[in-house]
Amino acid sequence: MAVDYGAPIFLVTSPVTSYADQILSIHRTRTSAGFSLDIPLIMLLASILKVYFWFGDNYSISLLVQAIVMIGVQMVLLKVALDNRPSPGAKDGIEHTPFAQLDAADTRPYEFWQWKSARPYWMCLAYFIGALSFIQILLPPLSQSQLYINFLGYTGLAVEATLPIPQILKNYRSRSCAGFRLSVVVAWILGDVMKLSYFFCSSEVIPWAFRLCGMFQCACDFYLGVQFWMYTRSSEDAGIPRGQPASWNEEKDIRMT
């Protein structure tokens, strides 16, 4: 079938086609404001888990290559986002946190993935990879057990399925999609269509876990597209330039006073 030949090529190249525009946009504008750092977090954790899952399950090579390519792309995206994060500043006595307009209720334990310096992000990933490598190499009774192998696979899929949620919540809080590229959403939706076609139409046996996670992620991606339509339309009706946050008019008035 055509899906059996076309889908693997699409899957392997999808990390680059999905995120290249976002990386270039952040680099070009010199700011990652509006972009959720949870996206590279989710994709890195999910892809790393899927790589170690392969050692126990030996699933499709194309999916393994996709996971490896995704790790590389997300590393670049994380580096560019960290290098171009907005400078912390105060407005109305409230300290702004890079990447998100967080209130006290949104603060995570130990400020996880909200650190102000770049080093903790890379150390966190290094510890995560180190722990999985330790289990894989030095604890073969555990790493070769079917329970552990299934845990890696299902956890990786479940984590990846939550990918759009942080950006959806971020857009909802700010009533804006500024800083997040429409091209990424389009690429996600196209990727969902291709993945679901592969999962349901391929001659290979695809576990239902892949299908369920794929359907959930597809629904979230379509809702993210709806957010773009709603917030872009409302911003244009309010006279806010395209790409500016919903608070643009308020901030403009403050600067003029």
Across 52-78, average pLDDT: 91
**Pairwise CA distance, residues 150 & 209, whole Å:** 11
**Pairwise CA distance, residues 100 & 179, whole Å:** 11
Do 12 and 65 meet the contact criterion of CB atoms below 8 Å apart? yes
pLDDT: which is higher, 57 or 132: 132
Q: Would you say residue 133 has pLDDT above 80?
A: yes
pLDDT at position 210 is 74
pLDDT at position 257 is 31
Q: What angle do CA 85, 90, 95 make, to 5 degrees?
A: 75
Please state the domain extents for the chain: 2-85+101-256
Query: Which spans in 58-113 are helix H?
Result: 61-83
Average pLDDT of the residues of the chain? 81
**Pairwise CA distance, residues 81 & 44, whole Å:** 14
Under the banding of pLDDT at 50, 70 and 90, the label for residue 96 is: very low
Do 125 and 45 meet the contact criterion of CB atoms below 8 Å apart? no
H-helix or E-strand spanning residue 94: strand 94-95
pLDDT digits (tens, 9 = 90+) for 193-231: 888 888 788 776 666 777 888 899 899 999 999 998 888
Across 79-101, average pLDDT: 60
Q: Is 78 helix (H, G, I), strand (E, B) or coil?
A: helix
Task: Enumerate long-range contacts of 23-31, CB under 8 Å, 24 or more apart.
Answer: 23/73, 23/76, 23/77, 23/80, 25/181, 26/77, 26/80, 26/81, 26/84, 27/80, 27/84, 29/84, 30/84, 31/84, 31/85, 31/86, 31/179
pLDDT digits (tens, 9 = 90+) for 17-55: 889 989 999 999 999 887 889 889 999 999 999 999 999
Bridge partners, residue 90, by sequence: 95
Bridge partners, residue 97, by sequence: 100
Under the banding of pLDDT at 50, 70 and 90, the label for residue 192 is: confident
Q: What percent of the chain has pLDDT over 90?
A: 35
**Pairwise CA distance, residues 210 & 189, whole Å:** 16
